[in-house]
Structures are given as structure tokens and as C-alpha cells.
Amino acid sequence: MTNVAKKKTKVVVGRTIIWLSIAILYLPLLVILVFSFTTSNTMTWSGFSTQLFSNVFTHPEISSALTNTLIIALASAALATLIGTLASVGIFYLKKPLKQIVNAGSQITILNADIVTAIAFMLLFISISNIGIPLPDGYPTLIIAHTVFTIPFVILAVNPKLRRLNPNLYEAGLDLGAGHMRTMWTVIFPQLLTGMITGFAIAFTLSLEDFIVSQYNKGSIETISTLIYSSISRGLDPTFRALSSIVFVTVLVAMLVFNAVSSQRAKLSERLRRALHSVK
């Protein structure tokens, strides 16, 4: 009897700790959410208003930074997913020394301190323009940089799926008369799709999150990160509160809905599996 009681206490305490941690993690975001509904410059309540939310889309600097950030994130994540998936397949069939070298290259990119990466890119882009190749600062440099530093993450996301792939699938594609590119598109990519989606999501997030690499290579354009950083010294525009709240709520709702749908499906297949199991 005491055993059961002990177990129950353990479960209650454990769950309390989990929810407490979640509360602490979300507390700052909730404070911001509350204060997005008031317009004062500092965090004091000056009456309910939704003014800040409409400001997000009319404020010239913020709305253009938002557009820049999204375009760069989408473009670089798409490129990284394409190149990374191809690379993942290719690396799988590379022989020992070259394979290790390429993997080490990926590892350096992942683990290198952001600031070193940022400066290295900056110096590279300067050298490129110095030798007379036109490479304007802004979109081109940021999309290149973000693509390069997110590719290894796509490879990491695709690799586990690749390992589970039937090794004869590719041969079967070729055998049936499809070319290499066609086999890749019609046979291999669909099999790797979940890994590619994960890879895209990671690349997209890392691009959104990035501050240091963008800061050093942005040229004259601003992303959300660089804009926030540059406006810290002159006091942060209260519109950022509404922006954080929009991002926060959107992400929260999207993730929870997505998760609810997929867990529903998981539950269904679990029930089926159990039913099968019980008769075998």
C-alpha cells in the first residue's frame, strides 16, 4: 500500500516540477504578451490598446526587417534542404578518407563559434569583391551565409532516414530506366521527406534566430535580430512587444495544433497495434 502511495507522490511532485519549469520558461514571454496591449514606452500600464499590433505592420523599419528576415530564412532553408539532402545521399556513398574530411567540415561548421563564422564570411565577401566579382551586401551575402551554415543541420536530419532506406531502391530506379536525377526526385526524395521537412524546419529556425552572422554581413539591410540589437541603445521601440507576442502566439498555436494532429494519428495506430498484438 505504501508503495502505491509513494509512487503517487512521486508522480505528483514530478509533474509539479515540470509545470513549474514551463511556467518559469514562459513567464517573460507572458509579461511581454500582457504589455503588448498597452502603448507606453516603458513597461507600465497605460490603458488597453491594440495600437502596437497595427504598428508592427505599419512601422517602416520593423515591417521591412520582418520581410527581410522571412525571405532570407525561406530562401536559405530551401537551398540548404536541397543541397543538404543531395549531399547526404552523396556522402553516404563516399569512400573513407574523403567521407571523413567532409564530415569534419560539417562538424566545424556546426560547432564553430558564431562570431568566428561571421568574421570569416565577412572577410571572404570582402576578398571576393576585392578580386572584382560583384557580390552586393545584403540579400546575396546573407542568403549564402545562412545556407552554408545550415546545410550540416539538414544533413544531420536526413541521415537517420537515409540509413533506414532500402539500399536497392536506388538501383531499382535506375534499373527501371530512370536517370540519376529522376531517380533522386521520384524515388529517393519521397522516402526522405520527413527528414527533409525536419531539416528545413531546423534551417529555417536557425536563420530566423541568427544574429551574429547577419550582423557582420547584412550590408545596409536589417533583419529582426540586427534591428533589435541596434535599437537597444536608443531604447527599444514598444512595437517589438507586439511583434514578440505575434510570433509567440503563432508558434505556440501552430506547434500545438500540429502536435495534436500527429499524436491523434499516433494514438490511432497505437490502438490498432495493441488490437493486433492482443490476438497474435
Q: How far is the CB of 54 from other proteins (least distance, A)?
A: 19
Q: Measured between alpha carbons, how far is 205 from 127 in angstroms, rounded to an integer? A: 29
On whether the CB atoms of residues 230 and 174 are closer than 8 A, the answer is no
The letter for the amino acid at 89 is V
Q: How far is the CB of 151 from other proteins (least distance, A)?
A: 6
Q: How far is the CB of 246 from other proteins (least distance, A)?
A: 10
Q: How far is the CB of 258 from other proteins (least distance, A)?
A: 9
51 versus 246: smaller Cβ distance to other proteins: 246
Cell of 69: 528576415
Q: Is 32 exposed, middle or buried (0-12, 13-18, 19+ CB in 10 A)?
A: middle
Q: How far is the CB of 111 from other proteins (least distance, A)?
A: 5
Q: Is 96 exposed, middle or buried (0-12, 13-18, 19+ CB in 10 A)?
A: exposed
Q: Measured between alpha carbons, how far is 172 from 193 in angstroms, rounded to an integer? A: 19
Q: How many residues does the chain have?
A: 280
